[in-house]
Structure formats: C-alpha cells, structure tokens
Structure 1
Amino acid sequence: MDQRTELSEFLRSRRARLRPEDVGLPDSTTRRRVPGLRREELALLAGVSTAYYTRLEQGHGESVSAAVLDAIARVLRLSPAEREHLGRLTRPARRRPGRAAARPQRVRPALQQLLDAMECVPAYVLGRRLDIIGWNRLGTALLGDFAAMPPEQRNMAWQLFLDPSARELYEDWDGKATDVVGMLRLDAGRDPDDPRLASLIGELSLKSADFRRLWAAHSIQDKGHGTKRLHHPVVGRLNLQYETLRPAGDVDQVLVTYHAEPGSSSAESLRLLASWAATEFHPEPVEATQATPVDPVR
C-alpha cells in the first residue's frame, strides 16, 4: 500500500462526506463541483492555511504536527479508529523486515484450552489481516468448519466476500461487510508492507465488486462489540451479542465471542446448536490445525 496515496484518498473521502451545515457553515448557493467541504473551508476551520492543507491532502504528511492532526480530525469528525489511522499515514514509513511475512501467528495453548472450555459460547481468534487462527467447536458450528478449509480461506474477509453461504448467514450482510472492510483497511494502515495482506486485497478486489466498492470508500472500523442477526441452516434465526477481547501477549490477536440473552429463544437455539455440534464436529488438535502457518493467498 502506497502510504502517500492512501493519505490523500483518505482525507478526500472524509472531506467529501461532510456538508457545510454539518460544521456550522452557511450552505452556499454556489454550485459545488464535488460533494463535501471545500479545502479552503476545512483549512479555515482547522486553523491552517489552504496551501498547507492542500499539501497534506496531496500526501505530504511527514512534518505535520499532532496539534494540526487533532484539529483536522476534529473538523472531519473522525472516530478514534480513524484518528489512529490518520496518524499512522502521516508518520514516515518504517519497514519492519519479516514481521508480517515470516512470523506465523499461533494461539497460545492456554488460550486454546480456554476456547475449548467455552462449550456454550461460540468463539474464535482473529490475527493479522483478519486471519482466523483459532476457534472452538461451537464457533465452528455457528460460522463454518474452519478446520476443513484451506488455510488461505480461513480469513474473515475471504469468507464474507467469496463464500456464498455468508450472504445467507448474516441477515445484515451489508453492515457486516462494511465493518469487515473497515477493519481490514485499519490493518493495512498498521502493516502497509505486508505482502499477504496485499495479496488478499488483490484477490478480493479482482473477484468481488462489493469489496471493490467498499474498499474505495476508505471506511475505517476497529473491532468492537454489538449485535449480530444470523440465519443458521440448522437452528434458524439467532439474535446474538458479540464481544471483542484482546488477550495479553500479542497485540495482533483478538478473541471474539457470541452469546444470547438469557432466557431468550436465541439462547435456546444456541443450546440446541451446541448439542448438535457435539455429535457433528470434532476439531483437530491445535498443533495440527490452528498452529499451521497460513500460506499467502493465491
């Protein structure tokens, strides 16, 4: 990912989503050639010259101060994740040889034991580039048989855009897709030189028009919590809460869990799914599956 191009496109996309009245400016009757705020309007509100902001939006962010970035982020109404992304894009690129390409990610044995002990809670672990690197039996029953997938397909973005069953599983597929692309772009800002991430983005762009459209929007989204409505082929509709937890020891891993409101029909359906999974799924040992290095996406 070219950091200068990414900075330019990100700032233009954030500026385009704002209207003058959104930031307290009168709605001019002069027809605008492009949607959103003009550069001079944003510069005025941020307290910098138009020439300074124009240079920044052209991708020259090497010498910009934190105070100026905070002012621009305030005017653009950036979320915390978007502000983090902007900060990374304006820092000089520093290559970290082999970090993303050579070192495979593994789930610690103790964390895998915790996953396996959560018999009534679907759970999985995401690593860099949204690779699915760990899971438990109920997670497999809810979202797919990860152990049976080729390593390059054990990826949340790959599953969502290139596996047709995902559109049937997620009732709000569009919302899920927007979130996943936003998380993937945040990862791209953190590891711009990751060749596997570049290969994944290339494959998704080639094979999915929806991914191309969402990627071009430059949305940024961090992993969080919320509600997901699923339509499972075995137990039907499920209304589940999800939580994202960060295990200690590896900043690139997150544990995602699902649960239902106690006493709800979804809780009963999840219990039935757990009983079904106990007879249908027998996940392979950690060393045989989850610890296997993920090959580059082809």
Structure 2
Amino acid sequence: MEDQLQRKSLGDFLKSRRASLSPQTFGFRDGFSRRRTPGLRREEVAQLAGVSLTWYTWLEQGREMSASHEVLESIGNALRLTSAERQYLHRLNGRQAPQVAPEASPLTEAFLEMVRTMPYPFFVIDPRNRLIAWNALACELVMDFAAIPAEERVMLKLIFLHPAFRERVVNWEQSTKLALAYYRKHYDLIADQGWYTELVSELRARSEPFADWWVKHEVGEKNGMRVDIAHPALGLLRFEVVTFGQINDLEAYMCCMYVPLPGSGTAEKLADLKL
C-alpha cells in the first residue's frame, strides 16, 4: 500500500512538472494537432529524457517498475527540476520514508529547558506536524500556542486556519508557500498513513489557499526562508528561519528558530523586550 501511494505521488509530481513547462521553450510546435492540456506531452518528455514513451507513460501511471539513478536524472534534466525537486523524485523512487512518531515524547527536561532559554522564537514539531514545544518569545511574537486546543496545534493548521498567525506574518503568502513545498517534499513519502490523509483532506476542505497550492505539487527547501512579523509594540520584525532535525537520535523531529535578520534592527528590538 505504501509503495503504491508513493508511486502515485511520483506520477502526480511528474505530471504537474510536465504541465508547468512551455513547449515553445524546447522548440516543440503543435503542428496539426492542438494541445488539449497545457505543458509538454508525454512523448516530448520521453524524447528529451532519452527514454521510451511506453516506459515514461508507465512511470507517470504509477506502475510497479524500477528506475535507475541515471534515468531519473535524465527525466529531471528534461523537466528542468530544481535540486530540491530532484531529491524529492529520487526519494519517492527509493521509498525512503521518514520515521514514524513514537507514542511518547522524546523531549527530556534538559531539552525543554534549552527550548525555554533560547534567545529567539523557538519551537519543535514532531513527525506528524504537531507543535510539541515552544518558548515564551514564540508565543509573544507569533501567537499564543498554549491557548490553542491540542488537536488544532498542528503547524499546517496554525499557518492556514488560524487568523492570529496570518495577521502577524506580513509575508504570509510567500513564506507559507515555501513551508508547504518543504512539507510536500518530505511527507508524501508516508502518504499511506491515516493521519496524513486526514490532515490533507481537512485542510483542502477548510482552506482555499491550501487547496489551490496543494494541487500544484511544488516541492522545495526552507533555505533562506524569511518571516516578517508585525508586532503591536515592537513594529516590524524580520527573521530568517533556521531549521534542524534529530532529537536524541530521532531524525524526523524538526526544531525551528526565527533568527533576527542582520541589519534589520530586529535583534535590538528583542533585547528591549521584557517577558
């Protein structure tokens, strides 16, 4: 079941990338046959990648088959994939799924003390995208996470469904698209798990932006991601998002810190903040 869903995700991703490309860019002309859908045709991708049309069609259809590293790279070149998109393609093909969250929290008292004493907004997300730890500065600058019911304290829900988050983040659309692309890259590998499909279904039903962006199937990294926050007392605060994983040998957990952007005056404003 897991392999089947990953193959479907791979096929959907290839189709979305194919549809995003202009045939004219590659010198393809319509001739006497008008295109019914935007983007490149399957036979054009196969031609550019140097593979047979039948084989590429089967790959898009999610059939059970193997693809070598070299062939996937050829397809990546044909579709002009970014580095992050290539990694995503290879991971889906290799079926390397992230760890599943254990029932008990791995956060020790020492780790939680580190979170509390971080000088910048800091929070921790588990493999199911649940927010499980944060510091007071994160609550002051972003939103009061403790006031959110536990079942709603899921990072994607907070970003897309809670007005308080959207009102504070000035560049909400830009930063949220990057966050969703990062999420899509990592979590399509576990698309067979019930919590994942339930979360995606709920967000597609409750958030129009999520529904619109999800079908575009964009993947990416958080490198250089910035978040601008409008604080009622401190004014505009500008941060770069720094993330890292692996807590006590558990790689699927993610720590996220908002680091003041150099030269923005944000660090100086935070130094004057009394909590």
Q: TM-score, normalised by structure 1?
A: 0.80
Matched residues in 2 for 1:246 and 1:3: separation?
A: 23
Aligned to 1:291: none
1:158 paired to 2:157: yes
Matched residues in 2 for 1:53 and 1:131: separation?
A: 37
Q: How many residues align?
A: 269
Matched residues in 2 for 1:105 and 1:176: separation?
A: 28
What residue ranges of structure 2 are gaps of 5+ in the alignment?
none
Code of the aligned partner of 2:111? L
Matched residues in 2 for 1:247 and 1:186: separation?
A: 18
What residue ranges of structure 1 are gaps of 5+ in the alignment?
279-298
Measure how far apart 1:252 and its partner are. 0.7
Decide whether aligned partners of structure 1 residues 209 and 40 sit closer, same or farther in structure 2, where only a CA change above 3 A counts. Answer: same
Code of the aligned partner of 1:166? F
1:54 paired to 2:57: yes
Partner SS for 1:254: strand
Aligned to 1:7: 10
1:183 paired to 2:182: yes
Measure how far apart 1:91 and its partner are. 4.3
Partner SS for 1:212: helix
Decide whether aligned partners of structure 1 residues 135 and 12 sit closer, same or farther in structure 2, where only a CA change above 3 A counts. Answer: same
Decide whether aligned partners of structure 1 residues 259 and 188 sit closer, same or farther in structure 2, where only a CA change above 3 A counts. Answer: closer
Aligned to 2:166: 167
Alpha-carbon RMSD: 2.5
Matched residues in 2 for 1:228 and 1:255: separation?
A: 16
Partner SS for 1:176: helix
Task: Decide whether the 8 Å contact of 1:156 with 1:180 is kept in 2.
Answer: no
Tell which deviates more after alignment, 13-22 or 201-210.
Answer: 13-22
Partner SS for 1:134: strand
Aligned to 1:100: 100
CA deviation map 1:51-98 (0-9, x unaligned): 11111111125322222111111222223332232233334698x9xx
Decide whether aligned partners of structure 1 residues 19 and 106 sit closer, same or farther in structure 2, where only a CA change above 3 A counts. Answer: same
Task: Decide whether the 8 Å contact of 1:100 with 1:194 is kept in 2.
Answer: no
Measure how far apart 1:207 and its partner are. 0.9
Decide whether aligned partners of structure 1 residues 212 and 160 sit closer, same or farther in structure 2, where only a CA change above 3 A counts. Answer: same
CA deviation map 1:12-47 (0-9, x unaligned): 10111112354xx22525443322222112111111
Matched residues in 2 for 1:142 and 1:80: separation?
A: 33
Decide whether aligned partners of structure 1 residues 110 and 7 sit closer, same or farther in structure 2, where only a CA change above 3 A counts. Answer: same
1:271 paired to 2:251: no
Aligned to 1:110: 110
Task: Decide whether the 8 Å contact of 1:238 with 1:266 is kept in 2.
Answer: yes
Instruction: Report 1:11-160 matches (<5 A).
Output: 11-22=14-25, 25-28=26-29, 30=31, 31-91=34-94, 100=100, 103-118=103-118, 120-160=119-159
Code of the aligned partner of 1:269? K
Code of the aligned partner of 2:100? A
Matched residues in 2 for 1:265 and 1:15: separation?
A: 43
Code of the aligned partner of 2:197? A
Partner SS for 2:251: coil
Q: TM-score, normalised by structure 2?
A: 0.86
Measure how far apart 1:105 and its partner are. 4.1
Matched residues in 1 for 2:177 and 2:165: separation?
A: 14
Code of the aligned partner of 1:229? D
Aligned to 1:251: 251
Code of the aligned partner of 1:256? C
Aligned to 1:294: none
Matched residues in 2 for 1:43 and 1:241: separation?
A: 40
Measure how far apart 1:204 and its partner are. 0.8
